[in-house]
Chains A and B, each alone.
Chain A
Amino acid sequence: MQRLLALIVVLVLAGCATTQRTSFPPPEGPAPPETPRPERPERPQPPEPSKPSEPSEPEEMPPRSAQQASSPAVLSLLNTADTLARNGNMDRAASVLERALSIEPRNPFIYQRLASVKLAEGKNDQAEAMARKSNSVAGDNPFVRADNWQLIAEARRSGGDRGGASEATGRARNYRTSSQQWMQ
């Protein structure tokens, strides 16, 4: 029952994050099912391996979504993990995300997804630890940090720490505000 509740929380959270961003150039939205997408043009030259935590030039917008920050290999794993998580296979989703981490060990979006999987499993401490780890490799990325603090707030709330939760919500709000500078 609690798991179900947590899952709903994650889905709501995901929904939140998406609606928050609807004013931006359209994000890729919820991940498509795992099936290969023939319409995706084959890229002979893949993008440079992402270094999400490298300090970015002030003019350059930090990546807002995993799609912008991950290699095709990692993206395909993230899609698989999303499908598994949506079907309630949290443990297998976590396993796939760990596989993605071994390819890109400092990709904050992977840790962020792991955090939401842990939250859905009711493992609040792990959820918070994963979200903080995501922050620690996110560099100066207010988009990622805002979502992570939101996750931390949820984790604390389900753990019964109301004070901690509202502090985290405050931080999330601050990062969301500071992310607005990229939206002008």
Chain B
Amino acid sequence: MAQKKRSTRSTGRRSGTKKPVNKRRGFFRRLLPYVFLLGCAAAVVLAGYMVYLDSAVRAQFEGMRWTLPAKVYASPLELYAGLGLSRSDISARLDRQGYRASSSLARAGSYHSSSNQLDIHTRAFTFWDGKQAAREIRLKFNGSGVSSLSTLDDKGDSALMRLDPLMIGSIYPKQGEDRILVKLGEVPPMLPAGLITVEDREFMTHWGVSLKSIARAAWANLRAGGVVQGGSTITQQLVKNFYLDNRQTLVRKGKEALMAILLDAHYSKPEILEAYLNEVYLGQDGSRAIHGFGLASYFYFQKPLEELQPQEIALLVAMVKGPSYYNPRRHPERAKRRRDLVLDMFHAAGFLEDDGWRQAQKAGLGVSARSVRSTSQYPAFIDLVRRQLLGPYKDNDLTEEGLRIFTTLDPAVQAATEKRVAKGLDKVEAGRGIKRNSLQSAAVVTSVEGGRVLALVGGRDAGFAGFNRALDARRPIGSLIKPVVYLTALAQPSKYNVITPVDDSALAVKLANGDTWRPQNYSKRTHGNAVPLHYALSHSYNLATARLALDVGIPNVIDTLKKLGYTGDPLSVPSLALGAVDMAPMQVAQIYNTLAAGGYYTPLLAIRDVTTRQGEPLSRYPLKIQRAIDEAPVYLTNWILQRVARFGTGASMYNTLDSSLNVAGKTGTSDELRDSWFAGFSANRLAVVWVGRDDNQPAQLTGATGALQLWAGIMDDIEPRGLLNVPPEDVIEIPLRMRFDPARGADGSSRRDCRGTAQVPFVRDQVPDGLSDCDSDIMRENRYRRRQAPEQRKEDDRNWLQKLFG
């Protein structure tokens, strides 16, 4: 709609057509009184109409209140000594935010990079906790990242500095205008000067309409034999944008002229010009109309208006004539020709010196890359932000008040996640002979501690604002539920520890409805009745897990699930033990985040703070934590999940990841290979990835062959720090040889040395009797002991110990 509005603007004015002169003078004379009367009546009507128009013009202009969509910002980059980012990482971030590489740091928004250091002149920015002035700083680098931060200006030392945050989008109505307000006094002087030069030379002197420019336009159009030039003044253009729709009739033209004259009579030229700067239409982004130079500057150059170079100002001024015709992303050559023409006009008018003019002519368009059809760069994440805001805020608070919303998104993590999802799917499809572009995916990345959502990908094409699979695709989670079953068991340390033998023999359960449930292992094989508990989880045995879940009780498993942060109400059926519950990736992330944070639940948040347009704090989303589950069983569970990664179903991650990195995770596969999941975490990053098909047909992928491949790529790219394995207060670790082999059972060699042992965690005071340093995995004895009545145990223990050591 709005596109049309502007593109028809330049069709120019039509002059009235002349009527043949009436030769019947007598008749005319007789008519004269009537004509006079009619004229009087018309004048009265016109006067009345003028009064009406006048009040309309004044009411609108004085109550001038544009609806201002909320602005959404990514998490700002904190710069400090010890930050693990390289010089090129930080320069890339600066480039993305429109910082200009420059030899001098004279202006904010510029940087200078040399061998081992980076000098930055940061932008001033009003954060949620106050204003930070523009600063000149120097970062030095060593092999591991930033080694020092010093200041180059005289405003005092600082141990850390925030970069202004990347603006990642707006929350605007479905068919809406978006803008950022600017003040005339704060824009580069070349912009208003250039606008007047190009659009309306007589602006400062005419009174709303300019007969001269109408005549000039008419003459130009006549000579060209068509409409090549519009005669509208800036005031008329503003009136049209402001008050009228885009129908181009003679009556409207008249009304437009009248209103322009009225506007000019009431308001000063600077007021009109400022309104124009904020109102003019400059492009379209999906259903979002880009209004005003303030937003256009971000939309095309990803930086504030104050920092634009002459050629960039010229491009925006050039586009006023037809933002879609001269769209620099779609028609770069056409746009450049007009920009150069505008630069020539700037030069001829005398406010662009020879040197600057030549330099500007040579410069490319410099427009930032951006997916043309998307409404924002991160539609899935913005969707999450919007949903989290829609409790306390009403729809029009978000679309009209110009709120500033500070989010947790980390642009680098988001970019890596998007890339790895897209490339990973291509690779999985190619590698496994799956039809191209048939798979879909979603991914969530969090910070673990603090529960901040760092990245969210809602589909294969992350820039496409469609079905948000990360939040809305609810699929069976398969084996992702297993850690919850084992955690429930390990929370009873007197009954279960990580080496407790569990039964992986065939199972048939009579259900309430009369059916019989007969789960099977993925391999269709059974593994005997004495599989160490950790082994059954790390190899994702279904039978052992189902039996364990029935032992601890399905309602208890559900209880654990809820403590971890699941808000649904799953059916209490045996098949829940194997993941017969549908969840969206975001819900899985919430559950695993509680595990990753050591049993402390933090609601996953995408928003940190909301302020008014002026920076007054409105709402803060403070860190809230809750001790959901005892730390000890969580520690034991996470220890097993690290074995999943090292030795179990997740081991292929180390084809991608550095082998020194300790991570924990779990694969998940649903029936008939429909859904492929992986959820896993390091100390500082948690990622959940789902791969499947939108039509819910089998994807022909297990968790390991599908989602894990994408997950490993993501984790590798987002600066993971390895898990540290510091046992909590009531956990002790004992070195044991882990030598279970399902083919041979618990026996194995009788070596009793300390080689090849692992630190195995136990809840203090619940260590099975008879374990000693460097002992082997005492499966048989342990199994034997479980069968004994407690009273008998003491005696047997002695016998058994005597047998071993006596």
Please list the residues of chain A having a beta carbon within 8 angstroms of any beta carbon in chain B: 36, 38, 42-46, 49, 51, 53-55, 71-73, 75-77, 91-92, 94-96, 98-99, 101-103, 105-106, 114, 125-126, 129-130, 132-133, 135-137, 139
A46, B147: Cβ atoms under 8 Å? yes
In the bound assembly, the distance between CA atoms of A71 and B159 in angstroms comes to 9
Q: Are A98 and B82 in contact (CB under 8 A)?
A: no
- Which residues does chain B contribute within 8 Å of A105, judged by CB atoms? 447-450, 683-684
Name the A residues within 8 Å of B600 (CB-CB): 129, 132-133, 136
CB–CB A114/B729 < 8 A = no
**Does B738 sit within 8 A of A, measured CB to CB?**
no
Contact between B726 and A73, CB atoms less than 8 A apart: no
Closest residue of chain A to B146 (Cβ to Cβ) is A46
Do A71 and B82 touch (CB < 8 A)? yes
CA distance A61 to B201 in the complex (A): 77
Which residues on A sit within 8 Å (CB–CB) of B157? 36, 38, 42
In the bound complex, CA of A45 to CA of B157 (Å): 16
A73 to B139 Cα, complex, angstroms: 14
Min CB distance B84 to A, Å, is 8
Q: Which chain A residues lie closer than 8 Å to B81 at the CB level?
A: 43, 46, 71-73
The contact of B78 among A54, A103, A106, A137, by CB within 8 Å, is A103
Is B525 in contact with chain A by the CB < 8 A criterion?
no
Question: Contacts A49-B82, A101-B449 hold; do A72 and B159 have CB atoms under 8 A apart?
Answer: yes
Interchain CA distance A130-B600 in the complex, whole Å: 10
Interface code B152-173, partner A: CB below 8 Å = 1, 0 otherwise?
0000111110000000000000
Chain B neighbourhood of A139, CB < 8 A: 726
Give 25 CB contacts A-B under 8 Å.
Answer: A43-B81, A43-B148, A44-B140, A46-B81, A54-B724, A55-B726, A71-B80, A71-B82, A73-B160, A91-B620, A95-B622, A96-B129, A98-B623, A99-B78, A101-B623, A102-B450, A103-B80, A106-B724, A129-B627, A133-B625, A133-B627, A136-B600, A136-B728, A137-B726, A139-B726
Measured CA separation A125–B149 after assembly (Å): 38
Tell me the bound Cα distance from A55 to B631 in angstroms.
17
Residue B624 at the A interface, CB < 8 A?
A: yes
Nearest opposing residue in chain B for A54, CB measure: B724
How far is A99 from B627 in the complex, measured between Cα atoms in Å? 21
Contacting residues, chain B, for A76 (C-beta < 8 A) = 158-160
The residue among A38, A54, A114, A133 with the most chain B CB atoms within 10 A of its own CB is A133
Task: Determine the residue in chain A with the shortest Cβ distance to B599.
Answer: A136
Inter-subunit contact A101/B450 (CB<8 Å): yes
In the complex, what residues of A have CB within 8 A of residue B128's CB?
95
Complex: chain B residue closest to A111, CB-CB: B625
Contact with A along B183-224 (1 / 0, CB 8 A): 000000000000000000000000000000000000000000
Q: Are B159 and A102 in contact (CB under 8 A)?
A: no
| Pair B78/A73 contact, Cβ less than 8 Å | yes
The 8 A CB mask of B585-598 against A (1 = contact, 0 = none) is 00000000000001
- Candidates B447, B599, B623; contact of A114 at CB < 8 Å: B623
Cβ–Cβ < 8 Å partners of A125 in chain B: 626
A36-B157, A76-B158 are known contacts. Are A46 and B82 too (CB-CB below 8 A)? yes
Closest A residue by C-beta to B683: A106
**Contact of B646 with A by CB under 8 A:** no
Give the Cβ gap from A134 to chain B, nearest Cβ, in Å.
Answer: 11
Any A CB within 8 A of the CB of B452: yes
Bound: A129/B602 CA distance, A: 11
Q: Is the C-beta of B150 less than 8 angstroms from some C-beta in chain A?
A: yes
Q: B158 touches which one: A36, A44, A49 (CB < 8 A)?
A: A36
B683 near A102: Cβ-Cβ < 8 Å: no
User: A106's contact among B449, B623, B625, B728, by CB below 8 Å, is which?
Assistant: B449
Majority DSSP secondary structure for residues of B touching A: loop
**Are A136 and B452 in touch, CB under 8 angstroms?**
no
In Å, the complex CA distance between A133 and B450 comes to: 11
Whether A135 touches B729, Cβ cut-off 8 Å, given contacts A71-B81, A72-B159, is: yes
CA of A55 to CA of B732 in the docked complex: distance in angstroms?
Answer: 13
Chain B contacts to A: CB under 8 angstroms: 78, 80-82, 128-129, 140, 147-150, 156-160, 447-450, 452, 598-600, 609, 620, 622-627, 631, 683-684, 724, 726, 728-729
Given A73-B82, A76-B159, A105-B447, residue A54 in contact with residue B726 (CB < 8 A): yes
Bound complex: CA A131 to CA B592 (Å)? 22
For residue B412, give the distance in angstroms from its CB to the closest CB of chain A. 14
Q: A55-B726, A114-B623 are in contact. List 6 more A-B contacts (CB 8 A).
A: A71-B82, A76-B158, A76-B159, A76-B160, A94-B623, A133-B627
Is A36's CB under 8 angstroms from B147's CB? Answer: no
Residue of B nearest to A94 (CB): B622
Cβ distance B485 to chain A, nearest Cβ, rounded Å: 23
Within 8 Å CB of B150, what residues of A?
42
- Among residues of B, the one whose C-beta sits closest to the C-beta of A53 is B726
Cβ of A55: which chain B residues have Cβ within 8 Å of it?
726
Q: Are B625 and A72 in contact (CB under 8 A)?
A: no
State in angstroms the CA–CA spacing of A54 and B723 once bound together: 10
Distance in Å: Cβ of B150 to nearest Cβ of chain A: 7
Q: Tell whether A129 pairs with B626 under 8 Å between CB atoms, given A55-B726, A75-B159.
A: yes
Complex alpha-carbon distance, A128 and B625, angstroms:
10
Contacting residues, chain B, for A126 (C-beta < 8 A): 624-625
Judge whether B148 and A44 touch: CB under 8 Å: yes
State in angstroms the CA–CA spacing of A54 and B599 once bound together.
Answer: 19
Q: How far is the CA of A110 from the CA of B140 in the complex (A)?
A: 27
CA distance A73 to B149 in the complex (A): 10
Bound: A38/B78 CA distance, A: 22
Closest to A145 in B: B729
Of all chain B residues, which has the CB nearest A47? Answer: B82
B158 touches A45 (CB 8 A): no
Distance in Å: Cβ of A173 to nearest Cβ of chain B: 16
Which of A36, A75, A102, A130 contacts B447, CB < 8 Å?
A102
Closest A residue, CB atoms, query B75: A102
Contact A132 B627 (CB under 8 A): yes
| A157, chain B: closest CB distance, angstroms | 19
The smallest beta-carbon distance between B278 and chain A, in angstroms, is 32
In the complex, chain A residues whose CB is within 8 Å of the CB of B598: 133, 136-137
Chain A residues near B149: list those with CB within 8 A.
73
Closest to A40 in B: B157
Interface centre among B156, B600, B609 (most CB of A within 10 A): B600
Using A98-B622, A101-B623, A103-B78 as known contacts, say yes or no to A73 and B450 having CB atoms under 8 A apart: no
Q: Which A residues are CB-close (under 8 A) to B620?
A: 91, 95
Please determine whether B159 and A73 come into contact, CB atoms closer than 8 angstroms: yes
Tell me the complex Cα distance, A144–B272, Å.
63
Question: What's the least CB distance linking A98 to chain B, in Å?
Answer: 5
Contact partners of B148 in chain A: CB under 8 A: 43-46
